[in-house]
Structure 1
Amino acid sequence: MPLTPLDIHNKEFGRRLRGYDEDEVNEFLDQVIKDYETLIRENKELQNQSLALQEKLNHFSNIEETLSKTIIVAQEAADELKSNSKKEAQLILKEAEKNADRIINEALSKSRKVALEVEELKKQASIYRARFRTLVEAQLELLGLEGWDSLEGGSAPAREINRD
């Protein structure tokens, strides 16, 4: 166990003949006590400073560890976000391609339907034209008959109508 200033102060030395001067020894011991107390006080202060610095070091170590974990979590979150964004972009692209294919197929279907309707209308127009021509030719033929002349007064010669 280390000496304390009180141990030094209370230390009694045996007396002998021709011993040391008691006042000088006491004065020296008082000086040793003061120096020893100063060293003990400084040692305590240094220990307290060391503890405070150790606490700060632990605090900053904890902050460093927390920041490292935070950076790792942030990096993982960024990577996950990037991955999810790529997946979502691929899904959007696939959906757009499906929609484009559907729109193209619908347009082709409508185009075929319109083409069929146009062909049907051309056939109907051709049939109508042929019927109308037949009707006009029949009417012209009727007009070309001699019976019409007698209705007009009988004096005009029969006209002949040119046919196409």
Structure 2
Amino acid sequence: MRITPLDIQQKQFPMRFRGFDVDEVYSFLELVREELEELLRENASLKEQLNRADNQLQEYKNMEVTLRETLMTAQQMVEDYKTNARKEAELILKEAELKADNMIKEAQEKVVKIHEDIVDLKGIRRHFKEEIKRLIDSHLKMLEFDKEREGEESGEV
């Protein structure tokens, strides 16, 4: 059974011969009642503070969990960005290498084509020289033939 300040205040003691001083007993009981009321108020206040502290602690724990999850998510995002950046860099590098290889191949093909063109032009030049030489020889022969005919015509006369 719990005793309340009201129980203390309403407690009646029977009168007996040669008993305690009733006024002192009631004064003491009033003092005990007041002290008990103060203790009960303080206890209620402390319980309320404890509840607030527990609630605040729970909020902090929830915040901690949220912060940890956020941190883990941020770290995962950073790792994903790094991985994607590496992959993209590798892809760009491979594309650049392919372009470089294609440019080198095209340049080599152009060199071969120019070489072929040079060989063709040399052949054309040689053929052209031979044709000019034949033409000159033919003209020289015609000139000689004309000279001989002129000499025969002038010698006959």
**TM-score when scaled to structure 1?**
0.84
CA-CA distance at 1:124 after TM superposition: 0.5
CA-CA distance at 1:148 after TM superposition: 7.4
Correspondence for 2:50: 50
Correspondence for 1:69: 69
Structure 1 residues without counterparts, runs of 5 or longer: 155-164
Deviations 1:107-146 (A, max 9, x none): 2112111211111011011101110121122213322331
The 3-state SS of whatever aligns with 1:144 is helix
RMSD: 1.7
The aligned runs of 1:15-26 (5 Å cut-off) are 15-26=15-26
CA-CA distance at 1:72 after TM superposition: 0.8
The 3-state SS of whatever aligns with 2:12 is coil
Larger mean CA deviation between 42-51 and 88-97 belongs to 88-97
Correspondence for 1:138: 138
Q: Which has the higher helix share?
A: 2
Letter in 2 for 1:141: K
CA distance in 1, matches of 2:106, 2:149: 60
Correspondence for 1:124: 124
CA distance in 1, matches of 2:149, 2:75: 105
Correspondence for 1:29: 29
Which fold has the larger relative contact order, with Cα–Cα distance below 8 Å and residues 6 or more apart in sequence?
2
CA distance in 2, matches of 1:65, 1:2: 42
The 3-state SS of whatever aligns with 2:17 is coil
CA-CA distance at 1:90 after TM superposition: 1.3
CA distance in 2, matches of 1:109, 1:3: 109
Letter in 2 for 1:20: F
CA-CA distance at 1:4 after TM superposition: 1.0
CA distance in 2, matches of 1:80, 1:55: 37
Correspondence for 1:94: 94
The 3-state SS of whatever aligns with 1:18 is coil
Q: Percent sequence identity over matched residues?
A: 38
CA-CA distance at 1:29 after TM superposition: 0.9
CA distance in 1, matches of 2:12, 2:149: 175
Structure 2 residues without counterparts, runs of 5 or longer: none
Deviations 1:18-71 (A, max 9, x none): 111111111111111111111111111111111111111111111111111111
Correspondence for 1:6: 6
Correspondence for 1:162: none
**TM-score when scaled to structure 2?**
0.88
